[in-house]
Structures are given as C-alpha cells and as structure tokens.
Amino acid sequence: MSLKKSIVTLMTALTMFGTFQVAATQEIANAQTTSTYTSHLSKANLAAKKWIAYHESRGSYTARNGQYIGRYQLSSSYLHGDYSKANQEKTADRYVKARYGSWVNAKHHWKAYGWY
C-alpha cells in the first residue's frame, strides 16, 4: 500500500472515530436535557420557588458560585454531577421539603438570613 493510500485510510478511520465520539457525547447531552420533572406545588410555593431562583441566580441554570451551581445555587454534592434542569428542579424540591417543609418557609428563611 502506498504512503498516500495509508494516510488517507488512517485519516478516514480517525474521522469516523471522532464522529462516533461526538455522536455519543451529543447523545449523553440530549439525555440530560430531555428528561423532564414536574413539581406539583401550590401557587404560593411556586411563587416562592421562583422568587428564590431569581434571588439566587437570576433564574439561570448555568450560574456558578464556587461549589454552588445552577438556578437554586445547590451544592454540587447534591446534584451528583447531573446539572440538567430536571435534576436541579427535583433536587431543589427535595432539599427544601427536607430542610424547610415548603418553599414558602424557605423564602421566609432567605429573607431573614440572605440564604436558604
């Protein structure tokens, strides 16, 4: 096989490998963004949740402040590496329910101390 043919074969193989790798990465990214989560909150709790999101990150799912990540500025250890919108919403709901009982109570705490 000529040198030119070998180089073309090698480049083709590398291109195909890169394409498969990109496709797998894109598939993982899509899986993280296509999962959904629906919280069943009262209007008052939904309003308090939105208020906290605004005051923590201006509502951004990509906000970062040291170890705190996302819309609700949760510790990265709570999110376990999954920073998708669905996981941020679900994790924030679980955190608030366990710590404060409701988003309304969490908002009261935030107003008193500047954090929740």
Which of 7 and 79 is assigned the larger pLDDT? 79
Give me the residue label for tokens 């500025």.
73
Percent of the chain topping pLDDT 90: 70
| Banded model confidence at residue 28, pLDDT cuts 50, 70, 90 | very low
Q: What angle do CA 83, 87, 93 make, to 5 degrees?
A: 125
Distances in whole angstroms, Cα of residue 71 to Cα of each of 9, 33, 113: 47, 15, 19
Number of folded domains that form the chain: 1
Rounded Cα gap, residues 110 and 94, in angstroms: 17
Q: If you average pLDDT over residues 108-115, what whole number do you get?
A: 98
Q: Check which CATH number belongs to the domain holding 56 and give it.
A: 1.10.530
- In a domain? residue 21: no
How much is the pLDDT for 71? 98
Contact 81, 87 (CB under 8 A): no
How much is the pLDDT for 23? 45
- In a domain? residue 95: yes
Q: 101 pLDDT exceeds 80?
A: yes
Count of Cβ atoms closer than 10 Å to residue 48 Cβ: 23
pLDDT tens digits, residue range 30-63? 445 557 999 999 999 999 999 999 999 999 999 9
Contact 114, 102 (CB under 8 A): no
Lookup: tokens for 102? 């409701």
- In a domain? residue 4: no
How much is the pLDDT for 35? 78
Contact 59, 53 (CB under 8 A): yes
